[in-house]
């Protein structure tokens, strides 16, 4: 054997060995060599491929580190649509689902169900051709997703080549383990960056990044949960998962076969009990008819497959102790009592604070310092106290009373009309100013990246900024002089502030937080005005006539807009923004045909969606539909993504609004 042949053989041996170690480490969680030994093998492979670049293939372990940043994400079409699952929180609905399945199959047919945890991460599609991974994409709207192939190549648990020569399309979930998220958040805190709220957000956000090299540094993992070509590999869903696991593809390995209602319910209870000990987040159990033949017989509706359902677990709760009760001041001056707690794990995050909402809720719960309390996440997002263990109370601690003066500026507080909330009477309250600026910078408003709470607090405390308009007076020397602000961070913040000048008028009106005017109403108001200059040019009579004519604007909304436009203080703020050339125009929206597919229909959109909410709003409007900021009496449809709060669903039920998914909305638009 020549030296060249020997070196080539060593290259192939290294590739095989590193792939095996990756599988043991990232999939089996059972490494057999040390990190130092692995690094030595990897460096040897890198050196060989540097000397022989012609040996580098797309599935080489060295190609996981990530390519150069891309200019944007490209949309691709899924092999078959990624449908949503119908879901339920009740055992009665689950029993009814099994009854419907039985009714859809031939009389006497034996039914088996495959149950598995519902992973709470980011769903993706994976495509292999000739044994090599060739494409990865996000779920998107179910029919089209964004091409994230370069980012998926950096996920160590995903094999870039498998021993399967036919086409193979898979559905999978990208997750971050809880312990990995804690490490990532600690590193982000050291760099002064905001922590990720939960593993799901961290995973989904990582996948859509434009620089694969950054994605490669994130501890992403993947679990395959569906084989699109399953019937060509096996007779059932459970068997297909076992077949692909044998090919080296990562699966959760926790699927179980059940044959009757009792065993299905028992397995769901087991998953619910064990999910807290799993390294990743789960928010329910998925029940699927196991037989592929029976899946074909049952088919699908336009919205869901008839052979599967997701049983969602109730909001996770935890018990902890109240160590203090403090009062926060929001952007409108409203005072909110907040319980400071002994830190506790809840739905994948460490919770040390929980909202008590207002003085009325505080009084009804009678929460006191030292109490043992139960907390849960409202809509699985905002921690709140839901119960007090009065029997565990030690002694007789005094009830908490709301302050008569603002805790931030010592100004008197008042209750307006029939409002429950107490508000600070000082329009220059620094706490309210800070929160108003943070809200102004939000993604759905002026989208000013890098303007987090810590920086805003410094800007207000040092007197550099007294309102949102003065953000546009900042320069590099002013920012660099602040604590923990280097030249690069300061310049990035300035660049983002400068870019926000060009945001449409609707974004500006949203960011200003006009009472009763959400993003949808702000868009309507901006379309009616056309520009900030014209808005300021309205007389009170002209403003009232124009705003009252906007579809969906009731008397309260009209009065709120008039108060904002003609109050001396807020009008002065608008003029300051105009003088700084901020958001002076609103692009005209394309005209919609009167006979559009959604003509006459009204929608409210809520939950975590596959796209920015404003994009969904635009799609509905262009199809002739109306969009409401909240569910009203005349709202016909509630478009619900993930993590929908129960109050929205209850309001929809109260008013008779039909709850639909993004997939069903897309079907309605297609007619």
Alpha carbons 528 and 545: distance in angstroms, whole number: 11
What is the C-alpha separation between 159 and 20, in angstroms, rounded? 10
DSSP-derived letter for residue 70 is: P
Sign of CA dihedral 518, 524, 529, 533: positive
User: d(Cα 10, Cα 8) in Å, to the nearest integer?
Assistant: 5
* 8 Å CB contact between 118 and 310: yes
The residue with tokens 């996440």 is 377
User: 10 Å Cβ neighbour count for 533?
Assistant: 12
Tokens 């593993």 sit at which residue? 199
Q: What is the strand order of the sheet 87-88 is part of?
A: 87-88, 308-312, 282-289, 113-119, 256-258
- From 630, 576, 574, 579, select the one nearest 602 (Cα to Cα): 630
H or E element in which residue 337 lies = strand 335-346
Q: Could you tell me which residues are beta bridge partners of residue 345?
A: 350
Locus of tokens 């492979």:
45
Q: Under a CB-based contact definition with an 8 Å cutoff, are residues 505 and 529 in contact?
A: yes
The whole-angstrom separation of Cα 443 and Cα 492 is 16
Give the burial string for 324-343 (b: 16+ CB within 10 Å, else e): ebebebbbebbbbbbbebee
Tokens of 638: 């509630």
| Rounded Cα gap, residues 523 and 507, in angstroms | 8
d(CA 282, CA 29): 19
By the 10 Å C-beta count (0-12 exposed, 13-18 middle, 19+ buried), 506 is classed as buried
In contact, 413 and 382? CB cutoff 8 Å: no
Positions marked catalytic: 118
Helix locations, 442-554, DSSP H? 453-461, 476-480, 487-500, 505-511, 519-529, 532-537, 540-548
Cα distance between residue 513 and residue 45, in whole Å: 56
Residue in the block written with tokens 């002209």: 542
| Contact by Cβ (8 Å): 136, 224 | no
- The position carrying tokens 């336009």 is 302
Q: Which has the closest alpha carbon to 133: 157, 154, 153?
A: 153
Selection from 356, 274, 305 nearest residue 83 by Cα:
305
Helices then strands (H, E): number in the chain? 25, 22
Work out the angle at residue 433's Cα, subtended by the Cα atoms of residues 431 and 434, and round it to the nearest 5 degrees. 65
Q: In sequence order, which residues have a C-beta less than 8 Å from that of residue 588 and are 6 or more positions away? A: 527, 530
């Amino acid at each position: 054997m020549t030296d060249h042949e020997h070196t080539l053989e060593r290259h192939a041996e290294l590739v095989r060995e590193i792939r095996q170690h990756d599988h043991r480490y990232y999939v089996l969680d059972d490494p057999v060599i040390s990190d130092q030994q692995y690094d030595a093998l990897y460096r040897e492979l890198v050196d060989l491929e540097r000397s022989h670049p012609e040996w580098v293939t797309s599935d080489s372990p060295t190609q996981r580190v990530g390519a150069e940043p891309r200019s944007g994400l490209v949309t691709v079409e899924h092999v078959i649509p990624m449908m949503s699952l119908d879901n339920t929180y009740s055992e009665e609905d689950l029993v009814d689902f099994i009854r419907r399945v039985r009714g859809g199959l031939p009389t006497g047919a034996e039914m088996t169900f495959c149950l598995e945890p519902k992973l709470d991460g980011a769903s993706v599609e994976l495509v292999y051709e000739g044994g090599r991974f060739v494409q990865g994409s996000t779920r998107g709207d179910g029919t089209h997703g964004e091409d994230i192939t370069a980012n998926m190549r950096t996920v160590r648990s995903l094999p870039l080549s498998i021993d399967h020569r036919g086409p193979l399309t898979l559905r999978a979930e990208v997750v971050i383990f809880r312990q990995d998220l804690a490490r990532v958040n600690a590193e982000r805190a050291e760099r002064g960056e905001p922590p990720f709220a939960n593993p799901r957000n961290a995973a989904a956000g990582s996948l859509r990044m434009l620089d694969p090299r950054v994605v490669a540094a994130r501890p992403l993992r993947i679990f395959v949960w569906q084989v699109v070509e399953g019937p060509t590999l096996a007779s059932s869903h459970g068997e297909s998962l076992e077949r692909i696991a044998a090919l080296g593809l990562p699966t959760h390995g926790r699927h179980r076969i059940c044959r009757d209602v009792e065993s299905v319910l028992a397995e769901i209870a087991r998953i619910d009990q064990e999910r807290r000990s799993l390294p990743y987040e789960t928010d329910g159990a998925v029940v699927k008819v196991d037989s592929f033949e029976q899946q074909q017989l049952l088919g699908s509706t336009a919205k869901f497959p008839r052979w599967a359902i997701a049983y969602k677990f109730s909001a996770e709760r935890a018990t902890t102790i109240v160590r203090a009760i403090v009062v926060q001041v929001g952007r409108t001056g409203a005072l909110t009592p907040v319980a400071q707690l002994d830190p506790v794990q809840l739905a994948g995050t460490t919770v040390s604070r929980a909202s008590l909402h207002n003085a009325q809720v505080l009084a009804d719960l009678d929460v006191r310092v030292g109490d043992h309390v139960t907390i849960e996440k409202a809509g699985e997002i905002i921690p709140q106290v839901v119960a007090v263990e009065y029997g565990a109370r030690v002694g007789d601690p005094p009830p908490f009373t709301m302050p008569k003066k603002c805790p931030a500026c010592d100004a008197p507080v008042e209750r307006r009309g029939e409002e429950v909330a107490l508000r600070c009477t000082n329009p220059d309250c620094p706490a309210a100013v800070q929160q108003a600026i943070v809200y102004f910078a939000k993604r759905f408003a002026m989208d000013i990246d890098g303007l987090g709470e810590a920086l805003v607090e410094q800007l207000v405390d040092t007197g550099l900024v007294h309102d949102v308009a003065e953000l546009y007076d900042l320069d590099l020397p002013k920012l660099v002089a602040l604590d923990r602000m280097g030249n690069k961070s300061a310049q990035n913040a300035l660049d983002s502030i400068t870019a926000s000048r060009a945001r449409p008028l609707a974004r500006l009106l949203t960011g200003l937080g006009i009472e009763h005017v959400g993003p949808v109403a702000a868009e309507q108001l901006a379309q009616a005005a056309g520009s900030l200059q014209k808005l300021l040019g309205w007389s009170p009579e002209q403003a009232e006539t124009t705003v009252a004519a906007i579809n969906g604007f009731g008397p309260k909304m009209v009065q709120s807009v008039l108060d904002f436009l003609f109050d001396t203080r807020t009008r002065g703020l608008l003029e300051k923004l105009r003088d700084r050339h901020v958001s002076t125009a609103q692009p005209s929206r394309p005209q919609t045909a009167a006979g559009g597919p959604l003509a006459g229909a009204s929608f409210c959109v809520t939950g975590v969606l596959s796209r920015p909410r404003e994009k969904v709003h635009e799609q509905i409007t262009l199809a002739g539909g109306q969009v409401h900021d909240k569910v009203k009496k005349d709202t016909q449809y509630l478009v619900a993504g993930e993590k929908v709060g129960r109050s929205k669903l209850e309001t929809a039920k109260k008013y008779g609004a039909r709850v639909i998914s993004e997939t069903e909305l897309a079907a309605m638009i297609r007619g």
